[in-house]
């Protein structure tokens, strides 16, 4: 009896999905839970596993077709059952390309370990277990090996960290899926590979690893003696016309268009047609690196790339200014200079900063705020707080609480821009910039307005500590709606930070220091007092936040910090 393969529910708000690629063809033998196709939604790309073992009898939808959740995509029959004839809709066979493994994002460090272990368990040779690049978040399709913690021949324990990887969201460690020796390293430090790629092999002492035909070693990989792999069997493919008679897009166009949600968002913000960008990802999909490179090249501004309908020849049009390509001047290097290649994190920070300056109209307003009220409360409570919670009470939780109240009062500062729409975010998720020895990362305190002063302190200290230990999870550096940076800890008075896209504002907190301040007594006499003062600089996106909105936000912040009777 045949079994139906249906379009799965990928989230409560998702009602449909697109068949992006078939990984099997009619007649193929399939194991239970083996991926048989890739689907793409507006939230995530994922693979659909086989609900049972058997033979793929029927494919009902072509690559590129969008269907509702619950729709039958294919049927699988019991072993030995006759293969059904193709349905009326022409069957599209998959290309002979090994797909990346895409899965739901793990929720915790333990689940990341379990994900890597479970994935490796399905790819084991008799003697070795494959260590694969794990899925670190729904929009992440690749990662870079930043550092190997073990070398070939080292003995490793199960779940012991083998290497560090870096993505555009977070740095993390990859644990060993089993105990044994590190038999082979397939990806060198600095190399970027797709999710699901084999990074290394771990096996019993003295065992020889088998080379996977599906995942051959990367160039330059460290290996021990291995048997030669048998050639992979040839697979049939079907040709696809460039366009159909009704002008529909080709499969390559559809795959590029079905890139990750992050890529599509960047494209929408810059008015870019993704199908015009050469993609380096799976099946020609456009990656974040591709679209950022496209933006930096200036190609997005070229007239031939703009889908503009030309006016009739009889009408006069104003001359268009020529696009100016600015060449980056070369840098002369002398013998006394030291040349150091940018780290992956530094390159990603650079890309993000340039993207932000190209996206938002930055403007900064600065307020001087009397922090004496906060300083006095903290001095009274810091020892008690440490004894109760085992962590320090800094000035930042007070600022987090004040920011949360001001954002509720002025929601435009907690908004985001989507084309011609303004999205007022329902949650207040505060990003806190944490300086690291090797760069900068912004973990997020989710729903900060629901936390008490002590809750904010505990959350912030925990995130900062784990950021420095490279223990953050992808979800903990995503979803921010407003960011706070604190160069005051280094002595800076104030700064004009760059907005953390897709947010529309960022607050810079300067050093809290004693300064003379002029006051007026009830009798009208002026006098000078020593107060604890600090400058607060708000950089905001002038596309949607007017100067008056920025000033009102800072005024609300000032009033809260100067007058509130705090409690832990």
DSSP per-residue codes, 165-210: EE-SS-EEEEE-SSSEEEEEE-S-TT-EEETT-EEEEEESTT--PP
Query: Region 423-433: what's the mean pLDDT?
Result: 96
Asked whether the CA dihedral 465, 342, 484, 382 is positive or negative, the reply is positive
Catalytic member of 159, 525, 542, 549: 542
Higher-pLDDT residue of 265 and 166 is 166
Catalytic position from the list 42, 90, 546, 549: 546
The mean pLDDT value for 512-526 works out to 95
Active site residue 546: yes
Average pLDDT rounded to a whole number, residues 491-519: 95
- Name the one residue in this structure whose structure tokens are 């936000």: 553
Give residue 88's pLDDT band: very low, low, confident or very high (50, 70, 90).
very low
The model's pLDDT over 155-190, given as tens digits with 9 standing for 90+, comes to 999 888 999 888 766 778 888 988 889 999 999 988
Per residue in 504-513, pLDDT (tens digit) is: 999 999 999 9
Band of pLDDT at residue 327, cut at 50, 70 and 90: low
C-alpha span between 526 and 66 (Å, rounded): 73
**For 384-421, how does the pLDDT look when each residue is reduced to its tens digit (9 = 90+)?**
999 999 999 999 999 999 999 999 999 999 999 999 99
Higher pLDDT, 485 or 273: 485
Q: Is 465 a catalytic residue?
A: no
Cα dihedral 257, 260, 266, 271 in deg (nearest 10): 10
Residue 507 and residue 366 in contact, taking contact as beta carbons nearer than 8 Å: no
pLDDT for the residue numbered 416: 96
How are beta strands 29-30 and 3-6 bridged, if at all? unpaired
**Residues 127-149: what's their mean pLDDT?**
80
> Is 138 a residue whose pLDDT tops 70?
no
Say whether pLDDT at 221 is over 70: no
The pLDDT assigned to 348 comes to 83
Torsion of the alpha carbons at 226, 231, 233 and 235, rounded to the nearest 10: 110
- Could you say which DSSP state residue 344 is in? H
- What percent of the chain has pLDDT above 70? 71
Is the pLDDT assigned to residue 112 strictly greater than 70?
no
User: What percent of the chain lies above the pLDDT cut of 90?
Assistant: 40
Q: Which residues pair with 485 in a beta bridge?
A: 508
**282: left (phi > 0), else alpha (psi -120 to 50), else beta?**
beta
pLDDT-derived band at 218, boundaries 50, 70, 90: low
Spatial distance between the Cα atoms of 447 and 20, rounded to a whole number of angstroms:
35
């Amino acid at each position: 009896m045949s079994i139906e393969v249906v379009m799965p529910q990928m989230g409560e708000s998702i009602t449909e999905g697109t068949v992006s690629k078939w990984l099997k063809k009619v007649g193929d033998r399939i194991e239970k839970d083996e991926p048989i196709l890739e689907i793409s939604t507006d939230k995530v790309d994922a693979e659909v596993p086989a609900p049972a073992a058997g033979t793929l009898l029927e494919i009902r939808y072509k690559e590129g077709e969008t269907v509702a959740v619950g729709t039958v995509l294919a049927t699988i029959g019991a072993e030995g059952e006759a293969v059904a004839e193709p349905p009326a809709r022409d069957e599209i066979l998959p290309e002979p390309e090994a797909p990346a493994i895409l899965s739901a994002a793990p929720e915790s460090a333990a689940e990341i370990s379990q994900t890597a272990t479970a994935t490796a368990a399905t790819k084991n040779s008799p003697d070795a277990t494959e260590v694969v690049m794990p899925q670190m978040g729904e929009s992440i399709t690749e990662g870079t090996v930043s550092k190997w913690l073990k070398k070939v021949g080292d003995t490793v324990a199960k779940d012991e960290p083998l290497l560090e990887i870096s993505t555009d969201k977070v740095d993390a460690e990859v644990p060993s899926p089993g105990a044994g020796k590190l038999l082979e390293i397939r990806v060198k430090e600095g190399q970027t590979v797709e999710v699901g790629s084999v990074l290394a092999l771990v096996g019993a002492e003295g065992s020889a690893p088998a080379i996977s035909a599906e995942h051959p070693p990367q160039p330059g990989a460290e290996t021990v003696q291995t048997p030669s792999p048998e050639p992979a069997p040839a697979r049939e493919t079907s040709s696809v016309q460039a366009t159909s008679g009704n002008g529909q897009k080709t499969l390559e166009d559809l795959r590029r268009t079905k890139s990750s949600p992050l890529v599509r968002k960047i494209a929408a913000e810059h008015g870019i047609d993704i199908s015009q960008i050469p993609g380096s990802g799976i099946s020609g999909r456009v990656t974040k690196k591709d679209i950022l490179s496209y933006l930096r090249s200036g190609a997005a501004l070229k007239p031939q790339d703009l889908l503009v309908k030309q006016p009739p020849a009889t009408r006069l049009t104003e001359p268009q200014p020529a696009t100016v390509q600015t060449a980056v001047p070369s840098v002369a290097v002398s013998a006394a200079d030291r040349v150091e290649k940018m780290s992956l994190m530094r390159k990603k920070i650079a890309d993000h900063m340039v993207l932000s300056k190209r996206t938002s109209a930055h403007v900064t307003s600065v307020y001087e705020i009397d922090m004496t009220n906060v300083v006095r409360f903290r001095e009274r409570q810091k020892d008690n707080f440490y004894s109760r919670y085992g962590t320090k009470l800094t000035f930042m939780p007070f600022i987090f609480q004040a920011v949360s109240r001001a954002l509720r009062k002025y929601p435009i500062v907690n908004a985001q821009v989507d084309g011609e729409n303004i999205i007022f975010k329902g949650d207040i998720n505060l990003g806190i910039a944490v300086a690291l020895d090797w760069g900068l990362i912004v973990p997020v305190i989710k729903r900060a307005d629901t936390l008490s002063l002590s809750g904010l302190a505990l959350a912030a200290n925990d995130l900062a500590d784990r950021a420095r230990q490279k223990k953050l999870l992808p979800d903990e550096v995503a979803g921010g709606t407003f960011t706070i940076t604190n160069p005051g800890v280094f002595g800076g008075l104030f700064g004009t930070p760059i907005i953390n896209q897709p947010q529309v504002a960022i607050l810079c907190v300067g050093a809290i220091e004693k300064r003379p301040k002029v006051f007026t007594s009830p009798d009208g006499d002026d006098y000078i007092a020593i107060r604890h003062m600090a400058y607060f600089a708000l950089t905001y996106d002038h596309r949607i936040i007017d100067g008056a909105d920025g000033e009102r936000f800072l005024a609300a912040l000032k009033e809260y910090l100067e007058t509130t009777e705090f409690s832990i």
